[in-house]
Amino acid sequence: MEEWAIALAASPWVYIITYLLCLIDGFFPPVPSESVVIALAALSFSAGSPNLWLVGIVAAAGAFSGDQIAYFIGKKLDLPNSRLARTPRGGRMIAAAGRALTRRGALYIFAARYVPIGRVAVNMTAGSTRYDHKRFVVLTCFSAITWSAYSIGLGLSAGAWFRNHPIIAMVVGVVLGVVVGLFAEWAISLFQQRRATRGAQAAQKPSTS
């Protein structure tokens, strides 16, 4: 299996596949683009291929392209009444995204890039609410580059820990990425809850005075 993985990573097709996975993940979150980028980075460090710079470039380009597609899908769809909004998690994400985009769009678009379902909800909501597209392009370009660098950094860390064991390095890198992603989602949710609580408390103050 190790020889097969190394041979696959050395193929030029790996860059095309990485780009497509990162693109599709921008509007279809079940696609594990982040895990693929992390695994390839770990493999690059421990086995010497694929080319790390090319992986980073195609991952960022794919992520950016996927974000633009999500934005334009949002423009065409009635997002609050969409299929995604009818799921408990999707509905909460979309409602929170709409509120956050109004108050602090730049921060929210950047932070949501690290939460798979969250970034789709935010980017589609940005399109649905006609968030300024030029500003959206700049923000998603920056967030795609930093996301790619972050994913590669996780993969390199795993590759350094398990330099002589490429497959183990890939698995550890992917697991590490999932754990960090879950933590990011928890931290963002906690931040939203605390702000909502403070907002509710501030709204009640005039009525109690």
The tens-digit pLDDT sequence of the chain (209 residues) is 445 445 555 678 889 999 999 999 888 877 778 888 888 887 777 767 788 899 999 999 999 999 999 999 988 876 666 676 677 777 777 776 667 777 777 877 887 787 777 788 889 888 888 888 998 999 999 989 988 988 888 778 766 665 554 455 445 555 555 555 555 555 556 655 665 565 555 556 555 44
pLDDT for residue 107: 79
Secondary structure (3-state) at 4: helix
- DSSP label at 131? -
Q: Which of 38, 156, 63 is nearest to 116 (CA)?
A: 63
Q: CB 129: neighbour CB atoms within 10 A?
A: 16
Q: How far apart are CA 177 and CA 203, in angstroms?
A: 39
Residue type at position 176: L
Q: Structurally, how many domains does the chain consist of?
A: 1
Q: Which of 50, 68, 67, 69 is nearest to 152 (CA)?
A: 50
Is 46 within 8 Å of 169 (Cβ atoms)? yes
Largest CA distance in the chain: 72
Task: Please give the residue range of the domain that contains residue 155.
Answer: 2-208
pTM: 0.72
**CB-side neighbour CA atoms (13 Å) of 207:** 5
Is 47 within 8 Å of 9 (Cβ atoms)? yes
Is 125 within 8 Å of 94 (Cβ atoms)? yes
